[in-house]
Structure 1
Amino acid sequence: MLLARLNDGPEIFFTLQGEGVSAGLPAIFVRSSLCNLHCRWCDTDHTWNFEGTPWKHDKDADPAYRKHRKAEVTIEVPPAEIVDRVAAYPCKRVVITGGEPLIQQEAWLEMIRGLRVLDPAYVFEVETNGTRLPTPEFQAAVNQFNVSPKLANSGMEEKLRIAPRVLETLAAEPKAWFKFVAVEDGDMDEILALCSRFQIPPERVLLMPEGRTAAELDRHAPAVAARCLLNGWRFCDRLHVRLWGDKRGV
């Protein structure tokens, strides 16, 4: 399967979960490459913004920024090798992230099954943009879906970022939590509309301020907290940003 590359190997690392309902828990992250979306503010653009693609990114304003050479930021790793690498860590919580992991469901299933043979106590979270439908086998195998539907602020048309059948399926799945990144009142209104349209329960909605630094998070947090109080949503911080800043592999 195709994973993101970090230094000389795959992007697999042991850290604290920084977002969502599992924030603060030790977890092993395994980052897949490839994504079917292209959010302009994406902080993992090395998984999709390859040379030759037409996508725009906020980093384009930096004269030093260049699109990534795919061969330099991706690596093919057999699921059995991922099992060995993950099993070497003293942790049983695995976060499958990306990119968009659901592009490679069969390979992830092989990894999940391999780890559960070693220890049935393994717990698997999947971080997804909510545009790919999980297969019944994949949905049953995963313990928690961290769904992050993209808003208009991502810079994409709605038909690309909103998949009604997928969101309806995940809204009916008790294992799915919905995380939204918000800055302006328009973002909040859009979230309300999506929750109403797809019947997403407010108690499974997490609202997160935008920010790649603690200062940016602090600037947006009061407005986000106010909307959480108003709508019964959960406030979601970015613990990893506060601890380590905008870095990879943490």
Structure 2
Amino acid sequence: MLRSVQGIVLRSMDYGEGNKIISLFTPELGKVSIMARGAKKMKSRHAAVTQLFTYGDFVFFKQSGQMGTLNSAEIIEAHHALREDLYMSAYASYLVELTDKMLGDEEGSSYLFEQVKAGLAAIEEGKDMQIVVHLYEMKMFDLAGYLPVTDACVSCGAESPITAFSPAMGGILCARCRHKDPVAIPIGEGALKLLKLFPRMDMRRLGTIKVKEETKAQLKQCLRAYMDVHVGIQWKARGFIEQMEKYNI
């Protein structure tokens, strides 16, 4: 069956002499794998459109249970800046890697597609990259059924005073229950507010927000630990980001 869709390239890998296989995220079909024959060749009409982060119109042939074959494609947004800037490339790579690894074949939704598209645009526009990926991480937790409890203490249900975040217990802890997880992460009012806001926030409405470095550090610690406990995937792009942080690149 010939399909015509808009899509975002989540992953692009070489295959054989001159071909590429791309993981394409679409609003109608979810995530699909497509063979782009000859795309490795510099003069190929598919060379540009199969690059990572590319948003475009794709026409491909796909039979049930088989990989699709790309017929034609037109670029809507190339996202050159995301590939040319080291920081942008690292954070954008993490965003698409989250999508690629946490979704199965033909899994996804039009809403999630719009969140990915808006996230890549937000990074390219210079919005806070860390906030963009944390917001998207919460979307993926929600999709996978791992959304942390952030509206009340995960242990007793109290709404205040909240003092810590427990990845192991699955959410925030009040002062009275803090002792139940000795390694729970202390959080302040700013981090707690964002943890509550992220699940309800649409990436398309993300403005230029200023977040204190202390708050961002707490968010990073909380969500990375939560990801490791509940998802347990080795993230190539996140590992690169952590290396940049370690060596202050």
Q: Could you say whether these structures have the same fold, taking a TM-score greater than 0.5 normalized by the shorter chain as the test?
A: no
Q: Which has the higher contact order (CA 8 A, sep 6+)?
A: 1
TM-score, normalised by the number of residues in structure 1: 0.26
